[in-house]
Amino acid sequence: MDINRKEFLKRTSVLAAGVLAGPSLIAGTGKPKTYPISLAEWSLHRALQKKQITNLDFPRIAKKEFGISIVEYVNQFFKDKAEDTAYLNQLLAVCKDNGVTNHLIMCDGEGELGNTNDAERKKAVENHYKWVHAAKHLGCKTIRVNAAGNGTAEEVAKAAVDGLGRLGEYAAKEKINVIVENHGGYSSDGKWLSGVMKAVGKKTVGTLPDFGNFCLKRGENWKCIEEYDRYLGVKELLPFAKGVSAKSYDFDANGNCIETDYKRIFDIMKTSGFSGIVGIEYEGNELGEYDGIRATLALLKKVMGVS
């Protein structure tokens, strides 16, 4: 960063307080286009993994620390609790006490919905059923899944259409949406994933465009060596979106995200007609998790022109 941390945080606080500029305007109205803001639990993954906080603490922290009333869970932080009614009720009580609404559960580690092996794909679909039920119990509208698989782009696409279609049909009976994030591999190709969505053809199966997850290929030390154009990718995925993930890593002296032009992204969102929830997902190293969340929140308020 080209600014010391103390000065950066001072400027971020000013932004969050409402000294904002350059919002994306609704055409013909002169009014800023605003979206509800949620907090993705992954923004606190280091604290959670170190057991400094637990999943039960998350809704309270979202509201008390950041003033955010909508949350997005990550299943790995309550992996063995999907069918634990007592635990889910305890989590619901925390949400009620803090005035927090549950939005979605991000589901990983349950198998590949784009697996080209029929038996393995069927197993992956069924592994997600418990999270559909947990989402319904918690009052969530959605589960976020992955469309991974091994094979050619065409083979994995065909398998993903089948896997997502099956899961989407099951989840629809519980009035739960199934959405796919661009999350590496073929799914980070906006044209590929939008093609899968068109082929699935279900209103309850959609996407979660992530501003930063457009890496198609990684090399040594997990370094991205081939990336899909994030602005094109977001544009291609927005017609199917039931939320977006505002990924952030580092910020410049003016509080702008270094790797993503948020103003440009929000102009694309405005043009698309998107009207869903924007989820904060901070993953940077320069700021601590709490400060990174605050910086991202300030930036979202800046581009939306709200205090």
Element (H, E) at 60: helix 58-66
CATH superfamily of 5-10+34-304: Divalent-metal-dependent TIM barrel enzymes (3.20.20.150)
SS3 144: strand
- The percent helix, strand, coil of the chain (3-state, each to 5) is 50, 15, 35
* Tokens 């509800």 sit on residue: 36
pLDDT at position 278:
98
- Count Cα neighbours of 118 within 13 Å in the Cβ-side half-sphere: 0
- Closest among 260, 144, 168, 268 to 213, alpha carbons compared: 260
Regions in the chain scoring below 50 on pLDDT = 1-3, 5-30
Contacts of 84 (CB under 8 A, 6+ apart): none
Separation of alpha carbons 124 and 132, rounded Å: 13
pLDDT at position 221:
86
Domain boundaries, the chain: 5-10+34-304
The answer to whether the CB of 205 falls within 8 A of the CB of 239 is no
* Tokens 């990550």 sit on residue: 74
Separation of alpha carbons 240 and 254, rounded Å: 32
How far is CA 203 from its chain centroid?
A: 19
* Tokens 């979106």 sit on residue: 241
Separation of alpha carbons 66 and 64, rounded Å: 6
Give the count of beta carbons closer than 10 Å to the beta carbon of residue 155. Answer: 14
- Which conformational region is residue 56 in: left (phi greater than 0), alpha (psi within -120 to 50 degrees), or beta? alpha
pLDDT digits (tens, 9 = 90+) for 128-144: 999 999 999 999 999 99
SS3 264: helix
Separation of alpha carbons 212 and 112, rounded Å: 22
* Tokens 């400027």 sit on residue: 11
pLDDT at position 302:
95
- Both tokens assigned to 97: 């006490």
CA angle (143, 110, 192) in 5-degree steps: 65
Element (H, E) at 303: helix 289-304
Helices (H), 115-252: 118-127, 129-138, 153-173, 190-200, 230-237
SS3 26: coil
pLDDT at position 171:
98
- Count Cα neighbours of 26 within 13 Å in the Cβ-side half-sphere: 9
pLDDT digits (tens, 9 = 90+) for 140-160: 999 999 999 999 999 999 999
pLDDT at position 292:
97
pTM, full prediction: 0.88
